[in-house]
Amino acid sequence: MAEGKSSVGEVRIKPDRLHAFTMAICRADGSSDREARLVADHLVLANLFGHDSHGVGMIPHYIQNTGTGACVRNNHAKIIRDNGAVIVIDGGAGYGQVVAKEAMDIGIERAKQHGVCVVGLTNAHHIGRIGHWGEQCARAGMVSTHWVNVHGHKSLVAPFGGAEPRFTTNPYCTAVPRKGKEPIVLDFATSQVAAGKVRVANNKKVQMEEGLLIDAAGRPTTDPGVLYNPPFGAILPFGLHKGGGLAVICDLLAGALTGGRTHSPRTKKDSTDIINNMLSIIIDPKAMGGTEMFEDEVETFITWVKSAKPQPGVPEVLAPGEPERARKVDREKNGVPIDGTTWQQLLDVARKVRLNDTEIPQMAAA
Ligand code: NAD
């Protein structure tokens, strides 16, 4: 089913054209063809999956950061500690879409050798949608779990019970491969709402739902401006003490355990930099209960779960990862909706990197 009514100024772009446009911007900014392709693959897939906060709208931010050196073009993952099944990789502030892919390639090879590989990826520029890395592992037949923190950026999310922000939207992901089917992918921010969604509401000057934000005094508010205008408020963690606890664990595993550093006054900057650290545990099912048994159990359990009678008003019980794939089918057919503000920002950045003016509409028109 196609998505609802278009908002004012929204454009719909065919995915291949959006991909070509994104690649052209990165290339014109000085990225290699491979880097530009990996960035475009990642961002356009995030849009196809419906996670627009992590789609091509990130490009103006990325190009701003390559300009300041906060994102280093054409950099590669470098192993800095090697204990066989436990490795630490320095991303060197390179494009996350490149260094996280390379880190997962190495981790998958090691997991094939040892049955498991624990990868600490440190100091990567924004690694985007974490499900992308779980899906890469799943394509290689591996189960993987990923814990991520963010620094270089201002604090956005309050700890459970706190009236001030202390970390950011710390995402978590687990991906489980299935025989002959798309994987199970649970992938979310540990905050009630992604920061990008607050930004969009603030740009549009609309109120948000209740239960997502607090003001500087710790009182509930629906005003997205509390994240942008002093005195600053915060986003709440999801799931009360449970989600709040998971967010803390993300910083401890991704920031303290890997050596990539936690979000604290030592690493926090009130800038647009975004450094991600990620702890990934990649496991070969062959090394545990055996691949056949694993695949059979996954199918049995997922079939059982999905057989539950849906609640009133719910069409179907879905497995994690299914909503994204349904959106992809729709957007591949009907184009990717890009809101007017984001589209203007993309056109502006295309001009900034000196893409040929006549080239832009040709590549971008749906
Ligand atoms: P979300 O709240 O949309 O939750 C998505 C997850 O819930 C998916 O696994 C999805 O399949 C599952 N899901 C949703 N509805 C479902 C249903 N009805 N039945 C079963 N499963 C369902 O995600 P979010 O918190 O808005 O995060 C969006 C993206 O932002 C994620 O990809 C995340 O990795 C990314 N992110 C990245 C960073 C970073 O620093 N790189 C920070 C925060 C978030």
Question: Which among 184, 303, 192 has a CA at the least distance from the CA of 242?
Answer: 192
Question: 188 CA distance to ligand 1 centroid (A)?
Answer: 3
Contact 256, 81 (CB under 8 A): no
Map tokens 């832009």 to a residue. 360
- The CATH number that applies at residue 111 is 3.30.1370.60
Q: Which atom of ligand 1 is nearest to the CA of 49?
A: 32
Q: Which two tokens stand for residue 332?
A: 């591949």
What phi and psi values does residue 253 have, to the nearest 5 degrees? -75, -45
Map tokens 């990225």 to a residue. 31
Residue 10 lies in a domain: no
Between 48-52, 84-88, 92-96, 352-356, the lowest mean confidence (pLDDT) is in: 352-356
pLDDT tens-place string over residues 214-268: 999 999 999 999 999 999 999 999 999 999 999 999 999 999 999 999 999 999 8
Give the pLDDT score at 358. 64
Number of domains in the chain: 1
Give the Cα separation of 335 and 328 in Å (integer).
10
DSSP state of 141: T
Question: Which among 328, 243, 275 has a CA at the least distance from the CA of 51?
Answer: 328
Query: What is the enclosing helix (H) or strand (E) of 229?
Result: none
Residue 173 lies in a domain: yes
pLDDT beyond 60 at 177: yes
Contact 301, 147 (CB under 8 A): no
Give the pLDDT score at 196. 82
Question: 189 CA distance to ligand 1 centroid (A)?
Answer: 6
Q: Which two tokens stand for residue 71?
A: 């994102």
pLDDT tens-place string over residues 256-305: 999 999 999 999 887 888 999 999 999 999 999 999 999 999 999 999 99
Q: Which atom of ligand 1 is nearest to the CA of 324?
A: 11
Q: Which two tokens stand for residue 351?
A: 């001009």
Question: 10 CA distance to ligand 1 centroid (A)?
Answer: 23
Q: Whose CA is nearest to atom 12 of ligand 1?
A: 320
User: Residue 46, CB half-sphere, CA atoms under 13 Å: how many?
Assistant: 26
Alpha carbon of 280 to those of 24, 115, 234: distances in Å?
Answer: 31, 14, 28
Question: 259 CA distance to ligand 1 centroid (A)?
Answer: 26
Contact 238, 190 (CB under 8 A): yes
Band of the pLDDT at 365, cuts 50, 70, 90?
very low
Residue 13 lies in a domain: no
Residues in the chain: 366
Question: Which among 9, 10, 53 has a CA at the least distance from the CA of 337?
Answer: 10
pLDDT beyond 80 at 66: yes
| Percent of the chain residues past pLDDT 70, beyond the cut | 95
The average pLDDT across 15-35 equals 96
Other Cβ atoms within 10 Å of 80 Cβ, number: 14
Question: 305 CA distance to ligand 1 centroid (A)?
Answer: 20
| Pocket residue to mutate for ligand 1, from 52, 61, 169, 188, most atoms within 8 A of Cβ | 188
Question: 296 CA distance to ligand 1 centroid (A)?
Answer: 27
Give the pLDDT score at 359. 65
Give the pLDDT score at 120. 98
The average pLDDT across 329-355 equals 93
AA letter at 334 = N
Give the Cα separation of 207 and 338 in Å (integer).
20
Give the pLDDT score at 153. 87
Give the pLDDT score at 3. 55
Q: Which two tokens stand for residue 286?
A: 């062959």
Question: 82 CA distance to ligand 1 centroid (A)?
Answer: 32
- The three-state secondary structure class of 180 is coil
Instruction: Return mean pLDDT, the chain.
Output: 94
Give the Cα separation of 332 and 273 in Å (integer).
32
Q: Whose CA is nearest to atom 27 of ligand 1?
A: 188
Instruction: Give the residues surrounding ligand 1 with Cβ less than 6 Å away.
Output: 51, 54, 126-131, 148, 150, 169, 171, 173, 185-189, 194, 276, 318, 320-321, 323-324
Residue 295 lies in a domain: yes
Band of the pLDDT at 5, cuts 50, 70, 90?
very low
Can you say how many angstroms the Cα of residue 44 is from the centroid of all Cα atoms in its chain? 12
User: Residue 154, CB half-sphere, CA atoms under 13 Å: how many?
Assistant: 13
Alpha helices in 156-290 (DSSP H): 195-204, 240-250
pLDDT tens-place string over residues 102-160: 999 999 999 999 999 999 999 999 999 999 999 999 999 999 999 999 998 899 999 99
Residue 232 lies in a domain: no
Q: Which atom of ligand 1 is nearest to the CA of 322?
A: 11
pLDDT beyond 50 at 1: no
Query: Residue 113's domain spans which residues?
Result: 74-191+237-331
Q: Which residues contact 290 (CB under 8 A, 6 or more apart)?
A: none
Helix 340-352 × helix 15-28 angle, to 10°: 40
Map tokens 């779960």 to a residue. 305
- The three-state secondary structure class of 183 is strand
Question: 73 CA distance to ligand 1 centroid (A)?
Answer: 27
Contact 237, 164 (CB under 8 A): no
Question: Which among 148, 99, 93, 103 has a CA at the least distance from the CA of 273?
Answer: 93
pLDDT tens-place string over residues 194-213: 888 898 788 778 999 999 99
Give the pLDDT score at 183. 98
AA letter at 15 = P
Residue 174 lies in a domain: yes
Residue 1 lies in a domain: no
Q: Which atom of ligand 1 is nearest to the CA of 50?
A: 3
Give the Cα separation of 89 and 78 in Å (integer).
5
Q: Which residues contact 356 (CB under 8 A, 6 or more apart)?
A: none
Residue 275 lies in a domain: yes
Q: Whose CA is nearest to atom 5 of ligand 1?
A: 188
